[in-house]
Amino acid sequence: MTSPLRVGRRPNAERINAAIDMLAERRPVEELAAQYGVRVDTLKTWHDAALRALQMAFAGIVKDNDARTETIAGLMRENTRLREELRALKKTAAAASQTCHQLAATLASLEQQGGAE
């Protein structure tokens, strides 16, 4: 089923469908041009625009993935640093607790000695 050439700008949906049909290579370009009522060079222009848009979309996806990968790597490094810091703080807290217990025992001993005198 062929359509006569139509004058004027086509809706984006029609351009997209035509470009998809070309990308799929299911039918000859001349047949598609006739179906959409446009010249072959117009259809090729739509096809080229669709390819550029796909390339930009995929480039954006790759950039997004690269950015996410870098973010994840940064978060993993930060997580490792924080775990090491927590480990050091736990050791310091344990040492401080032991010192407090020793001081409390010493103070209790001194109080007992002072009360015994």
Contact 12, 46 (CB under 8 A): no
Residue showing tokens 């006569």: 4
pLDDT at 91 over 80: yes
Q: Is 46 within the bounds of a domain?
A: yes
Q: Give 27's DSSP letter.
A: S
State the pLDDT at residue 31: 87
Scanning 1-117, the segments in alpha helix (DSSP H) are 12-24, 29-36, 40-116
For the chain, how many structural domains are there in total? Answer: 1
Is 1 inside any structural domain?
no
**pLDDT value at position 3?**
57
Question: Is 5 within the bounds of a domain?
Answer: no
Nearest 5°: the CA angle 18, 20, 23 is: 110
43-90 residue pLDDT tens: 888 888 888 888 888 787 777 888 888 899 999 999 999 999 999 999
Q: Is the pLDDT of residue 33 over 80?
A: yes
Q: At residue 16, does pLDDT exceed 80? A: no
Distance (Å, whole) CA 11 – CA 40: 17
Inside any domain, residue 88: yes
* Mean of all residue pLDDT scores within the chain: 83
Q: Does a structural domain hold residue 6? A: no
Residue 4 lies in a domain: no
pLDDT tier, 116 (very low <50, low <70, confident <90, very high otherwise): low
Parent domain of 110: 12-116
Instruction: Measure the CA–CA gap between 90 and 36, rounded to whole angstroms.
Output: 73
